[in-house]
Amino acid sequence: MTSPGSGPDSTAGLAEFRAQVRDWCQAHVPAGWRDEQAGAGDEEFAAFQRWWFGVLRSAGWAVPHWPAEWGGGLSVARQAVLYSELAAHDAPRLVLQFVAIHHAAATLLAAGTDEQKQRHLPAIADGEIWVQGFSEPEAGSDLAALRTAARRRGEVYVVSGQKLWASGATHADWCLLLARTDPDAPRRKGISYFLMDMRSPGVEVRPIRNGGWRVAQQTLGAERGLTMLELAERLGNAGFRWLVRACASAGALEDSLVADRLAAFETEIAALRALTARLVSGHDTGTAGPADASIVKLYYSELLQRMTDFGLQVSGLPAQAILTKPASSGWESGAWLLDFIGSWEWTIPGGSSEIQRTIIAERGLGLPRG
Q: What is the CA radius of gyration of the chain?
A: 21
* Spatial distance between the Cα atoms of 209 and 170, rounded to a whole number of angstroms: 12
- Closest by CA position to 337, among listed 240, 262, 246: 246
Per CB under 8 A, 298 contacts another protein: yes
From the CB of 168, what's the least distance to another protein, in Å? 30
From the CB of 347, what's the least distance to another protein, in Å? 14
DSSP state of 197: E
Per CB under 8 A, 42 contacts another protein: no
φ, ψ for residue 263 (rounded to 5)? -65, -35
223 among known catalytic residues: yes
Per CB under 8 A, 196 contacts another protein: no
- Closest by CA position to 132, among listed 228, 221, 222: 221
Which residue stretch of 20-28, 132-140, 176-184, 271-279 sits at the interface with another protein (rule: CB under 8 A)? Answer: 271-279
Of 74, 247, 304, 307, the residue at the interface with another protein (CB under 8 A) is: 247
Per CB under 8 A, 288 contacts another protein: no
Per CB under 8 A, 278 contacts another protein: yes
**At 347, which amino acid appears?**
T
- Indicate if the alpha-carbon torsion angle 109, 115, 121, 127 is positive or negative: negative
Per the DSSP assignment, residues forming a β-bridge with 195 are 176
The active-site residue, picked from 85, 136, 223, 345, is 223
Per CB under 8 A, 362 contacts another protein: yes
Angle 120-122-128 from CA coordinates, rounded to 5°: 65
* Spatial distance between the Cα atoms of 295 and 281, rounded to a whole number of angstroms: 15
Of 185, 203, 274, 323, the residue at the interface with another protein (CB under 8 A) is: 274
Of 41, 154, 202, 370, the residue at the interface with another protein (CB under 8 A) is: 370
Per CB under 8 A, 343 contacts another protein: no
Is the Cβ of residue 111 or residue 257 nearer to another protein in the bound state? 257
* Spatial distance between the Cα atoms of 101 and 366, rounded to a whole number of angstroms: 33
* Spatial distance between the Cα atoms of 167 and 147, rounded to a whole number of angstroms: 21
Of 144, 158, 264, 323, the residue at the interface with another protein (CB under 8 A) is: 264
Of 203, 208, 263, 323, the residue at the interface with another protein (CB under 8 A) is: 263
From the CB of 19, what's the least distance to another protein, in Å? 20
- Indicate if the alpha-carbon torsion angle 227, 195, 94, 353 is positive or negative: negative
Binding site for another protein (CB under 8 A): 244, 247-248, 253, 256, 259-260, 262-264, 266-268, 270-272, 274-275, 278, 291-292, 295, 298-299, 354, 356-358, 360-362, 364-370
The residues annotated as belonging to the active site are 223
